[in-house]
Chains A and B, each alone.
Chain A
C-alpha cells in the first residue's frame, strides 16, 4: 500500500509538476522581482532621483498641496505619497473628472515645481505579470491554478520523500548529473519548505473572492467591495457643492499622527479639494506590521473637524490580512525584503531544477523511447529553455528597453512591456534553432551580458543621476545596479559551468547507468 501511494504521488509530482512548471517559474520569478518593485520603479524613472525633498515632512506635504492647488484645482481627489525610505520622492496623482485620465507628478520640495516621470510601469510590471500575466481575469485564474498545483506538488513531493531530514545535508555536485540536479531540487525544496507552502497558500488567499466565492456569494452577493466596506470604516463626506478654503495641513497632520503614531504617516488623500466638504484622510504605514491593514484618520479640511479614525480591526479580518501581508513581504525592513528576494530565487530555482531533472531522467531512457516520445522530450527541453533562461533574458531586456526607448514616445509604458514579450518570443525562436545545451548556455550568457551591462547603461543614459543620487544619500539606483551586476555574474558562472569540464561530468552521468551515450542525441545539461 505504502509503495503504491508513493508511486502514484511520484507520477502526480512528475506530470502535474511538468504541466505547471513553465508557468509556475514565470510566476515565481516575476514575484521575486516584484519584491523590489518600488526600488525598480525608482531606477526606471531617473526623474525621481533628481527631485529635492525635505527632512521636514510638513514642508513636503505643503509642497505637494501647493502644487496640486495650482495644477489640479478641479480634480475630485488628490493622492499624495510623502518621501519614505523605499520611495524617497514626493509623488502626487489625480484623476481628471471629465476624461478619467490619471496624472502622476513628482514634486520638488524646494521649488514646488512638478515633473512628469517618463511613462513606465517600472517594477509594477513584474507585480502585474505575477498577479495576472497582464491578461486580466483569465490570467488571475491561470496564476491561481499554478498556486493550487504548486501546493499539490509540495504535498506529493513530501510524500515521495523517503529521507526528508537527511536531505538537509545532501548535495553531490560531483556525482552524476541526474543525482546532483535531484540533490539541488531536494535541497531547495526541503530547506525552504515552509516558505514554499506559505507563498503558494497566501497567494491563493490574495484573490480569495475570485477563486472561491462561495461564502462571499452567500453573504455579500459576490461583491468583494461590500465585504471590504464592513471591515474598513469610511469617514468621507459628500460634496456640499459650495466653495470652501482648505486649512493648512500641518496641524491636521500632527493630530493624525497623535492618533496613528509618531512619524507613521506617509500617505494622504484629499477629497473634493475646492469644496466646503473637503476632507483629508491620513494613512498609517504598514511596513512595521504583519497584517496589511492601514489605520487611518479623516478630517474635514475646511473646518479641521475630525470625521473619524480607525485603529481597531475585526480580529478575523486582521488575521486574514496578515496572510496577505506574509505574501507581500512589506514588513520587517530591508533585511526581510532581501530574505524574501533570496527565498524567491531559491523557490524559482527549485522549479527550474525540477524541469531540468525531468529532461535528464528522460534523456537516459532515450535509447528505448519511441519516435513520438523522443519528439515530446525534445519539445519539453525547448520549452524549458524558453521558460527559464528565456524569461530571464526578457526581464533583463525590459530594463534595457526602459532606458533605450525615447523618453517622449507615445504609448511608452506599454511599449516597454511589448519589448519584454517580444524578447521572450525571440528566445523561443532561438531555443528551437539551437541544440539544447547550446541554447541554455547562450541564453544564460545573454542574460549575464544584459544584467552586467545595466550599471553602464544606467550611467550612459541617466547622465550623472547616479552620482547625484549617491551624493544625496539615495542609494537605491546604486543598489539596483549592483544587484544586477551580481546576478549577471551568477548567470555567467552557470553559463560557464555548462561549457566547462564536459569529460568529468559525462563520466559521472553515464557510469552508474551502465548505458552507452546514445549517438545522435543532442547534448543536454550533463
Chain B
C-alpha cells in the first residue's frame, strides 16, 4: 500500500477510535459475551447433531469450540462496522439453534 494511503487510513482509524469509545465497548461485548454465547450454542449443537457416543461428543465438540471462540473474537474487531461485529456471533448462534430447538421439543 502506498505510504500516503496508509497514513490516510491510519488517520481515519485514529479519528474513529477517538470518537467512539462506545464502538470499542460494543465490539468487546460482541467478542467476549457474544462470542461465548455463540461458541456455547455451537458446541451444544455439534454435540446434539453428530452421530457419536456422548463421551466422544463431549470431547470433540468442546475441543472445536476453542477454535471457534478466538476466531469470533477476531471477527468482532475485524468487522468493518459495529453492526457487522455483532452479526458474526448472532449468525453462529442462529445457525446453531435448530439442534437445540429439536432437543427442546423432545425433552
CB < 8 Å neighbour of A5 from B17, B60, B78: B78
Interface readout for B45-86 with A: 1 if CB under 8 Å, 0 if not? 011100011111111111101110111011001101000000
Asked if A449 is at the interface of the complex by the 8 Å CB criterion, the answer is: no
- Select from chain A the residue with minimum beta-carbon distance to B60: A316
* Chain B nearest Cβ from A115, distance in angstroms: 42
Mark the stretch among A79-87, A212-220, A289-297, A503-511 that contacts chain B.
A212-220
Contact (A323, B40) CB under 8 Å given A148-B69, A230-B55, A231-B55:
no
Asked whether B62 lies within 8 Å of A227 as measured between CB atoms, the reply is no
Q: Which residues of B contact A12 (CB under 8 A)?
A: 74, 77
Asked if A208 is at the interface of the complex by the 8 Å CB criterion, the answer is: yes
Contact (A11, B47) CB under 8 Å given A5-B78, A212-B65, A219-B54:
no
Q: Which of A208, A211, A212 is most buried by chain B, counting CB atoms within 10 A of its CB?
A: A212
CB < 8 Å neighbour of B13 from A11, A151, A201, A319: A11
Contact (A320, B54) CB under 8 Å given A212-B65, A218-B48:
no
- The docked-state distance in angstroms from the alpha carbon of A204 to that of B62 is 10
Asked if A7 is at the interface of the complex by the 8 Å CB criterion, the answer is: yes
Q: Which residues of A contact B48 (CB under 8 A)?
A: 218
Interface readout for A5-20 with B: 1 if CB under 8 Å, 0 if not? 1011101100000000
Q: Which residues of A contact B54 (CB under 8 A)?
A: 219-220, 230
Asked whether B65 lies within 8 Å of A214 as measured between CB atoms, the reply is yes
CB < 8 Å neighbour of B59 from A148, A151, A156, A316: A316
Asked whether A316 lies within 8 Å of B40 as measured between CB atoms, the reply is no
Chain A residues 1-54 with CB under 8 Å of chain B are 2-5, 7-9, 11-12
Q: Which residues of B contact A208 (CB under 8 A)?
A: 59, 62-63, 66
- The docked-state distance in angstroms from the alpha carbon of A204 to that of B55 is 18
Interface readout for B22-43 with A: 1 if CB under 8 Å, 0 if not? 0000000000000000011101
**Does more than half of chain A's interface fall in helix, strand or loop, or is it mixed?**
helix
Interface size class for chain B? Answer: 35 or more
Q: Which residues of A contact B80 (CB under 8 A)?
A: 4
Interface readout for B1-17 with A: 1 if CB under 8 Å, 0 if not? 10001100110010001
CB < 8 Å neighbour of B43 from A3, A4, A11, A214: A214
- Select from chain B the residue with minimum beta-carbon distance to A162: B1
Asked whether B13 lies within 8 Å of A2 as measured between CB atoms, the reply is no
- Select from chain A the residue with minimum beta-carbon distance to B17: A11
Asked whether B66 lies within 8 Å of A219 as measured between CB atoms, the reply is no
Chain A residues 226-282 with CB under 8 Å of chain B are 227, 230-231
- Select from chain B the residue with minimum beta-carbon distance to A147: B66
Asked if A58 is at the interface of the complex by the 8 Å CB criterion, the answer is: no
- Select from chain A the residue with minimum beta-carbon distance to B73: A152
* Chain B nearest Cβ from A319, distance in angstroms: 8
Q: What are 21 A-to-B residue pairs whose CB atoms are below 8 Å?
A: A11-B77, A12-B74, A152-B70, A152-B74, A156-B74, A205-B63, A209-B58, A214-B47, A214-B61, A215-B44, A215-B47, A215-B57, A215-B58, A216-B62, A219-B55, A219-B57, A227-B55, A230-B54, A319-B59, A320-B59, A320-B63
